[in-house]
Amino acid sequence: MSVADLTYDGTVAIITMDNDQNKQNLAFAQALNQAFDESLKNETTTAIVLSSAGEKFFSAGVDLDWMMGRYQAQDMDSMRAFMYGMNEVFKKCLLAPVPVIAAINGHAFGNGAMLACACDFRFMKSDRGYFCFPEVDINIPFLPGMIAFSKKSIPYYKFNELKLTGKRVTAQELEEHHVIQKACADKEALMAEAMAFAKSFQKQRGIFGEHKKRLHKEIITIMETEDPEFIEPLNVMM
């Protein structure tokens, strides 16, 4: 089973996560980085749509079994490589010179919800799937960079609620609070809406990328200067 597949519909690159629940570990970070790199090397790419092959999950977040295994083996290098690797994925979303659109076709938990927040725009199907930050209940804090880019995607009052309660919310509630562009009836409608939106973008990559670079300058600075303070000593609660 692959981790991430890259296909095209015209000039829209479609990155499909294809690893069941798409739990995030080092192999996941490496595969997603490679898929983004390949899509952006294609100079004809005008947009990227990120989704999942499964019916139930967009991404279940960090692979806690893998993390605990690495922790018990004292393999801190792999844990650091994973955390830096996911930060590279997030930065690719934030800085890509084309729009990155999340088509959330199932549950987006923890780092899965973070991945959607790193994208420029989000659509979500409403017949199945919750969006949730469970970290407050599983004893894991956010990195500073995660907080910074989540606040660009979720109104602060709503982010405060989701972050501190760990509650699960539906696509309808996310649409109401302008976290997603649209709640879609099912997976077919979700992909149709996300692809139509993606195809509406025919921006010049140079200026589009410069807009995103300036727009997210403070977020990138936080990720590059503050996150290592927690990643290097692995100052996380396990």
Contacts (Cβ under 8 Å, ≥6 apart) of 160: none
Residue for token digits 């076709």? 105
**The model's pTM:** 0.96
> What are 183's two structure tokens?
């709640």
Q: What is the pLDDT of residue 234?
A: 79
Q: Structurally, how many domains does the chain consist of?
A: 1
Contact (CB, 8 A) for 81 and 24: no
Contacts (Cβ under 8 Å, ≥6 apart) of 233: none
Whether residue 55 lies inside any domain: the answer is yes
What is the b/e burial string over 172-208, where b = at least 16 CB atoms within 10 angstroms of the residue's CB? ebbbeeebbbbbbeebebbbebbbebbeebeeeeeeb
Q: What is the pLDDT of residue 20?
A: 87
- Domain limits for position 196: 4-231
Tens digit of pLDDT per residue, the chain (238 long)? 589 999 999 999 999 999 889 999 999 999 999 999 999 999 999 999 999 998 899 999 999 999 999 999 999 999 999 999 999 999 999 999 999 999 999 999 999 999 999 999 999 999 989 999 999 999 899 999 999 999 999 999 999 999 999 999 999 999 999 999 999 999 999 999 999 999 999 999 999 999 999 999 999 999 999 999 999 997 444 3
Distances (CA, A) of 42 to 13, 39, 63, 84: 9, 6, 31, 25
Whether residue 88 lies inside any domain: the answer is yes
Q: What is the pLDDT of residue 238?
A: 39
Whether residue 38 lies inside any domain: the answer is yes
Whether residue 89 lies inside any domain: the answer is yes
Residue for token digits 């919750």? 130
Q: What is the pLDDT of residue 72?
A: 94
Q: Which of 212, 30, 37, 204 is nearest to 121 (CA)?
A: 212
CATH of the domain at 20: 3.90.226.10
Whether residue 236 lies inside any domain: the answer is no
Whether residue 237 lies inside any domain: the answer is no
Whether residue 238 lies inside any domain: the answer is no
In DSSP notation, 103-144 reads EE-SEEETHHHHHHHHSSEEEEESSS--EE-THHHHT-PPPH
